[in-house]
């Protein structure tokens, strides 16, 4: 259960690492490229719109000044008498209408009192009195004038283009009405995309062209914008020569044709971009407005595409990460399991190896009593060969020999029992163990080997130790290994191995100390590594201590080692004592 | 020629005792020792030993060490090694050091007797050669 959770969290971690690692650069690049693309695309789009708006600004300005120029030519070319001749005037209007396709609706001459003294056109405006009209008042102050769009006497939208001229000391005005529809089409033709359209406002915020209700609603917005951005036409008074007002722009100080204000606005849910530029010396403003979604249509498409790629890519990364992680974790799980199985096998092999080592000693031990028995039997045979002389002393000798055979047989039995009790299969079952019994058993098994190595085995066992929970067969393996190592370290020179059991800090400690050759630091650091051995090839597996370490660690204990070259080595085995078992 | 003098060296006391009796009834003069040092000590006093039967595995001074010592001090004495199965390598090492032969424990008494006779014959032959060489030397000296 615990393992399943471990592998699950391992899998989770792998997935999140893979996703974070692959997503972070992906998102960063997407954001970076997206940002630069958007900026440059928007910049280009706006620049294109600006160009268009500027061209239209020029068109409109040209249109207006053209109309003025014609009036100027008329007023300069003909006398007041000629111009006030209504037939003459009608002829001129016909020429103009013919040349300009009905842009000019009518022509009129207004005297300084504001009375229209001559009129040509479709409305009956002869003798009309303009003395009270705003346009007339302004027109009289200037050499030329273009009015705002107004309804006027005819009750239909139009605007007036007028030239002031002097005839024999008295000013009069030659005025023409420009057809609103014609003028309006100039602006209406400025269409870009589906929603891009243009309109004209005067400085008071009055629309000078036809606008839809949506644009109508934007009036306040543009007014506020003009104020806020400081796009104020400050009246610099009238020009001394022409009488035309001169304006200074508090925000820009470039020539007015270059003045373009761009930005983005929002009304309701619709974002839009706008471009504003002054017209008619700044009395009017040409505004171009387009919905953002329309203006940046390609950008939206690109963005959508990028997002789709990002999502698809992300999804495939996530899926791949999950699949790969799962596969990897299951591999890890499998190899862990294999390793565990291998560990068990290694422990079993180690057990066999230590038993094998033991067997050589045991064989000798058995060989000796067997040899004695064989000799005694042979001796009896020798005695019986001469059957005729069966003396009492001979009988006595046979009896002694048989007793000896019996004694040696017992000795054999003891040895084989010892070996059998040890060599039983590795049994990892945990039972209550008296550590001293295990140590005594191992010491007795090792006695023979140590005798021939001239090693004195000393024991210093604390009789009051608590029992521990462990597998006796595993403990045997550990201590047999440690004692075998000590015997190897002492070699044939002779020495002492002291086995001590004691209690320290709630842990049971077994010290196996030898007076062997000791180990330098370099070796000491590696003794618990599997397959590390200082014995010649074929003599040691290098598994002994590694297995001991594994067994003791598995029990929750520890093995440490102290060693000094030429002095000896002491292994300390720490074994956990069950709670409550400490006396 | 006197009887063959054999010294039996083994740490197993009952083994040595019984073997001594068995060899004695086969007309050998048997000396015994229970360890390497004891054997060397006895050899010091008893110079007529022909063959030593020597156990390889003994606590303290083992068979190989004892053999080396014997061969250094008394090169003419022949040594038969007694060994268990597990220590044949040691027996071979002993042969390299000059042992006459080796036998596995438990031993067949007839086999042992044969080896002892062979070893003794070899020793006698060896001694004869030395004797002849000495005689020749003397003869040569006289001749000139
Ligand atoms: Mg022995």
Report the gap between the CA of B125 and the closest CA in chain A (Å).
Answer: 31
**Residues of the domain holding A516:** 428-576
- Chains A, B: CB contacts under 8 A, how many? 58
From A42-46, A235-239, A250-254, the region with the lowest mean pLDDT = A250-254
**A63 lies in some domain:** no
Q: Does the structure show a pLDDT above 70 at A200?
A: yes
> What's chain A's average pLDDT?
81
**A315 lies in some domain:** no
Q: How many CB atoms lie within 10 A of CB A249?
A: 17
pLDDT tens string A330-348: 898 888 888 877 776 766 6
Higher pLDDT, A297 or A569: A569
Nearest CA in chain B to A408: B14
Report the gap between the CA of B113 and the closest CA in chain A (Å).
Answer: 13
CATH number, domain with residue A454: 3.30.565.10
From A154-158, A311-315, A530-534, the region with the lowest mean pLDDT = A530-534
**A563 lies in some domain:** yes
Nearest CA in chain A to B110: A378
The average pLDDT across A455-461 equals 92
Q: Does the structure show a pLDDT above 50 at A254?
A: no
Q: Does the structure show a pLDDT above 60 at A73?
A: yes
Q: Does the structure show a pLDDT above 90 at B70?
A: yes
Please name every residue paired with A207 in a beta bridge, in sequence order, or none if there are none. A201
The average pLDDT across A388-414 equals 85
**A214 lies in some domain:** no
What percent of chain A shows pLDDT beyond 90? 12
Of A482, A511, A485, A487, give the one whose Cα is nearest residue A498.
A511
**A261 lies in some domain:** no
Inter-chain CB proximity A452 and B58 less than 8 Å: yes
Provide, as residue numbers in chain B, all residues whose Cβ is less than 8 Å from the Cβ of A455: none
Of A183, A137, A190, give the one whose Cα is nearest residue A164.
A137
From A125-139, A249-263, A322-336, the region with the lowest mean pLDDT = A249-263
pLDDT bin (cut points 50, 70, 90) of residue A250 is: very low
**Residue A414 is encoded by which pair of tokens?**
């003891």
Task: Answer for the pair A92, A84: CB distance below 8 angstroms, yes or no.
Answer: no
At A499 the pLDDT is 95
User: What is the number of structural domains in chain A?
Assistant: 1
Q: Does the structure show a pLDDT above 90 at A26?
A: no
Between helix A297-385 and helix B13-24 the angle, nearest 10°, is 40
pLDDT bin (cut points 50, 70, 90) of residue B72 is: very high
Q: Does the structure show a pLDDT above 60 at A301?
A: yes
The average pLDDT across A191-199 equals 85
Cis peptide before A27 (omega within 30 of 0): no
Report the gap between the CA of A363 and the closest CA in chain B (Å).
Answer: 7
Q: What are phi and psi of A267, to 5 degrees?
A: -135, 120
**A95 lies in some domain:** no
Of B80, B81, B85, B73, give the one whose Cα is nearest residue B42.
B73
pLDDT bin (cut points 50, 70, 90) of residue A255 is: very low
pLDDT bin (cut points 50, 70, 90) of residue A352 is: low
**A458 lies in some domain:** yes
**CA–CA separation, A97 vs A70, rounded Å?**
12
**A569 lies in some domain:** yes
């Amino acid at each position: 259960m615990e393992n399943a959770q471990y592998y699950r969290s391992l899998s989770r971690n792998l997935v999140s690492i893979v996703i974070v690692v692959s997503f972070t650069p992906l998102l960063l690049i997407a954001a970076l490229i997206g940002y630069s693309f958007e900026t440059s695309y928007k910049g280009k789009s706006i620049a294109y719109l600006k160009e268009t708006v500027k061209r239209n600004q020029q068109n409109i300005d040209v249109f207006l000044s053209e109309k003025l120029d014609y009036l100027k030519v008329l007023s300069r070319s003909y006398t007041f008498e000629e111009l006030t001749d209504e037939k003459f005037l009608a002829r001129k209007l016909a020429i103009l209408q013919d040349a300009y396709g009905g842009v000019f609706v009518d022509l009129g001459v207004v005297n300084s009192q504001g009375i229209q003294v001559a009129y040509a056109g479709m409305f009956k405006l002869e003798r009309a009195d303009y003395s009270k009209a705003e346009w007339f008042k302004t027109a009289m102050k200037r050499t030329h004038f273009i009015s705002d769009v107004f309804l006027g006497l005819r009750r239909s939208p139009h605007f007036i283009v007028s030239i002031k001229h002097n005839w024999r000391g008295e000013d009069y005005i030659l005025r023409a009405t420009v057809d609103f529809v014609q003028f309006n089409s100039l602006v209406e033709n400025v269409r870009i995309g589906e929603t891009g359209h243009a309109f004209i406002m005067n400085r008071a915020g009055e629309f000078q062209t036809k606008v839809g209700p949506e644009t109508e609603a934007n009036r306040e917005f543009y007014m506020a914008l003009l104020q806020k951005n400081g796009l104020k036409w400050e009246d610099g008074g009238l020009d001394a020569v022409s009488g035309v007002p001169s304006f200074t722009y508090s925000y820009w100080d470039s020539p007015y044709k270059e003045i373009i204000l761009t930005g983005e606005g929002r009304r309701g849910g619709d974002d839009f971009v706008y471009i504003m530029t002054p017209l008619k010396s700044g009395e009017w403003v040409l505004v171009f407005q387009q919905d953002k979604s329309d203006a940046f249509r390609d950008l939206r498409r690109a963005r959508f595409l990028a997002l789709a790629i990002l999502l698809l890519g992300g999804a495939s990364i996530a899926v791949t990460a999950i699949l790969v992680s799962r596969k990897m974790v299951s591999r890890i799980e499998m190899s862990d399991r294999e390793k565990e199985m291998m560990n068990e096998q290694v422990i079993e092999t180690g057990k066999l190896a230590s038993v094998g080592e033991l067997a050589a000693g045991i064989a000798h031990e058995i060989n000796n009593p067997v040899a004695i028995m064989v000799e005694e039997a042979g001796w009896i045979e020798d005695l019986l060969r001469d059957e005729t002389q069966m003396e009492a002393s001979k009988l006595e000798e046979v009896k002694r020999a048989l007793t000896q055979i019996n004694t040696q047989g017992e000795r054999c039995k003891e040895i084989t029992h010892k070996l059998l009790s040890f060599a039983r299969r590795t049994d990892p079952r945990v039972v209550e163990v008296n550590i001293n019994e295990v140590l005594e058993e191992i010491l007795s098994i090792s006695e023979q080997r140590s005798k021939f190595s001239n090693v004195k085995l000393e024991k210093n066992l604390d009789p009051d130790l608590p029992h521990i929970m462990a597998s006796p067969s595993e403990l045997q393996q550990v201590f047999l290994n440690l004692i075998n190592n000590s015997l190897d370290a002492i070699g044939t020179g002779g020495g002492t191995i002291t086995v001590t059991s004691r209690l320290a800090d709630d842990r049971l400690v077994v010290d196996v100390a030898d007076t062997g050759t000791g180990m330098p630091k370099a070796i000491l650091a590696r003794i618990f590594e599997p397959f590390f051995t200082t014995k010649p090839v074929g003599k040691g597996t290098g598994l002994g201590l590694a297995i001991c370490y594994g067994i003791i660690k598995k029990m929750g204990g520890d093995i440490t080692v102290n060693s000094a070259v030429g002095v000896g080595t002491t292994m300390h085995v720490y074994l956990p004592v069950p709670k409550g078992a400490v006396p | 020629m006197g009887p063959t003098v054999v010294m039996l060296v083994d740490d197993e006391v009952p083994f040595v005792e019984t073997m001594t009796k068995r060899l004695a009834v086969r007309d050998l003069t048997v000396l015994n020792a229970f360890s390497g040092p004891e054997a060397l000590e006895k050899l010091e006093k008893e110079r007529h030993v022909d063959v030593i039967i020597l156990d390889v595995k003994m606590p303290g001074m083992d068979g190989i060490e004892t053999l080396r010592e014997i061969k250094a001090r008394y090169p003419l004495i022949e040594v038969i090694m007694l060994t268990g199965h597990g220590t044949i390598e040691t027996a071979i090492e002993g042969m390299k050091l000059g042992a006459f032969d080796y036998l596995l424990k438990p031993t067949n008494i007839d086999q042992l007797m044969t080896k002892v006779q062979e070893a003794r014959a070899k020793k006698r032959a060896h001694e004869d050669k030395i004797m002849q060489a000495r005689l020749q030397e003397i003869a040569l000296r006289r001749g000139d």
